[in-house]
Structure 1
Amino acid sequence: MLPYCYADGKIIPWEEARIHPMDLAFIRGYGIFDFFRVAHSKPLFLDHYLDRFIHSAKETYLHLSPSKEELRLIISQLIAKNEMVTGGFRMLLSGGLSDNHFSPAAGQLFIFAEELIFPSEEKYQKGIKLLTLEHVRPVAKIKTTNYAYPVWHSAIWKENGAEDVLYHRDGYISESSRSNFFIVKDGELITPDSDILEGITRKHVLQLAGRFSERKVRLEEVFEADEAFITSTTKVLLPVTQLDDKIIGSGKPGPVSLDILGKFRKLEQEHCG
């Protein structure tokens, strides 16, 4: 954690940030968050992240006091105050102190500046393993703080040498616990269109792709795919070369995945330029 955060309506040392123990964020696990990266002291794709955060607040009936421009100013001040060159920002809006300990109330806004830990270069070169898991994330289209199930299940991933999971239900896949999921078949990029959070990295990957389809994707299609990968703010594009005990494609990161990753890295540089 970097030294300064936004809490209680002002910029303060992060260790002074406080939240009431009866806030719905604690007693019901109710709140929203978003996370974006900073490179060369500039937030990457900030408009998209702020729009999603504001939309999440509206859809979860949580009052967000600062406007989009005020949020942008707070973030700029935090970058300067923390002398931040690279890292990430976590925006969190809690469920608030509810009269009946259940209904959404006026929550607290926190914005924390953080250091980033990226996956190792070896994972980009060799790919990662995912485990299938029958599950659909609650209120999947909104970035809520409800990650209880995957946090609990994560010990099983580690026991099986996996990086994460791939959710599926009724024979169709949706997403990973913190990432969007893609397959490549015969040169076409394919990604699920339902029961997912529409990620910002996902959005840009689709714009960079030559051919793509957003549709329902059967689990069997993943095992038959030529390539697969996950995308997220902190992973960017991470090739998936194994699902459960089955190898995907050649068992190595494929040309389409690596081409899109290269284009995305270039897009980041242009955005920071």
Structure 2
Amino acid sequence: MKPFCFADGTIIPSESATIHPMDLGLIRGYGIFDFFRTSNYQPLFIEHYLDRFIASAEKTHLPLKYSREELKAIISELTEKNDLKQGGFRMVLSGGVSQNHFSPAEGKLFIFCESLDFPAEEKYNQGIKLLTLEYVRPIAEIKTTNYALPVWHSYHWKNLGAEDVLYHWNGMVSESSRSNFFIVKNGIIHTPDQHILLGITRKHILQLAKDAVIRPITLEEVWDADEAFITSTTKVLLPVTQLDDRKIGNGKVGPVTRSILERFRNLEKELVG
């Protein structure tokens, strides 16, 4: 974590940030967050992340006292004070201290700056393994702070050499615990349309792919896919070459996956000049 954060309505030393022990974020796991990156001191896709954060606050009935312009000004000041040339911003809005310890209240806004390490290059070159997990994330369209199941389950997947999980329910796949999921079949990119977070990286991958198909995808289709990959802010795009104990396609990173990753990286370079 970087030296300065935003809390209590001002910029303070990060080590001084506090939260009430009866906040719903702690006692009920109720709150929202979002995370975006900076490159060459510029926040990438900032308008899209703020769109989602503001919408998440409204959908979860959590008052957000700051306007879009005020949030951007805070982010700009934190970037300067933390000298955040390359790194991450984590915005958190807690559930607040509720009179009945249950209903959403006026929460507390935190904005933290973090160092950011991408996955090892070998994962981009060789691909990763996912484990199937029967689960649907609650209110999946909102980026809530409720990650209890994957945090608990991560001990299991790490022991099995997996990077993450792939959620599925009634034979239909949705997403990974912190990433969106895609398959490639006959050169065409497909991605699930239900029980997912509408990822910002996903959004731009779909724009780059142009002919991508957004639709329900069965687990059987994943087994039969030529390629697969996951996308997120912190991973960008990671090829998936194994699901449980079975290879995806030929078990190697495919040409469509490599192409879309290169195009996304070029897009980022264009944005920061």
- TM above 0.5, one fold? yes
Q: Distance in 2 between matches of 1:241 and 1:260?
A: 16
Which amino acid in structure 1 is aligned with residue 99 of structure 2?
D
How far is the alpha carbon of 1:217 from its aligned partner?
Answer: 0.1
How far is the alpha carbon of 1:186 from its aligned partner?
Answer: 0.3
How far is the alpha carbon of 1:183 from its aligned partner?
Answer: 0.1
1:101 paired with 2:101, answer yes
In the superposition, the TM-score normalised over structure 1's length comes to 0.99
Counterpart of 2:177 in structure 1 is: 177
Q: Distance in 1 between matches of 2:211 and 2:103?
A: 44
Q: Distance in 2 between matches of 1:28 and 1:15?
A: 24
How far is the alpha carbon of 1:210 from its aligned partner?
Answer: 3.7
Q: Distance in 1 between matches of 2:202 and 2:179?
A: 9
Which amino acid in structure 2 is aligned with residue 225 of structure 1?
A
Q: Distance in 2 between matches of 1:85 and 1:210?
A: 31
Counterpart of 1:124 in structure 2 is: 124
How far is the alpha carbon of 1:211 from its aligned partner?
Answer: 1.9
Counterpart of 2:44 in structure 1 is: 44
User: SS at the partner of 2:62?
Assistant: coil
Counterpart of 1:142 in structure 2 is: 142
Alignment of 1:193-204 (within 5 A): 193-204=193-204
Segments of 5+ residues of structure 2 without an aligned counterpart are none
Contact 1:187–1:211, Cα closer than 8 Å, also in 2: no
Counterpart of 1:33 in structure 2 is: 33
Counterpart of 1:56 in structure 2 is: 56
User: SS at the partner of 2:190?
Assistant: strand
Deviations 1:14-44 (A, max 9, x none): 0000100000000000000000000100000
1:77 paired with 2:74, answer no
Q: Distance in 2 between matches of 1:13 and 1:172?
A: 45
1:192 paired with 2:192, answer yes
RMSD across aligned positions (CA): 0.5
Equivalent residue pairs, number:
273
Deviations 1:135-155 (A, max 9, x none): 000000000000000000000
Deviating 4+ runs (over 4 angstroms) = none
Counterpart of 1:160 in structure 2 is: 160
In the superposition, the TM-score normalised over structure 2's length comes to 0.99
Counterpart of 2:24 in structure 1 is: 24
Contact 1:229–1:240, Cα closer than 8 Å, also in 2: yes
Which amino acid in structure 1 is aligned with residue 31 of structure 2?
G
Segments of 5+ residues of structure 1 without an aligned counterpart are none
1:256 paired with 2:263, answer no
Q: Distance in 1 between matches of 2:9 and 2:236?
A: 32
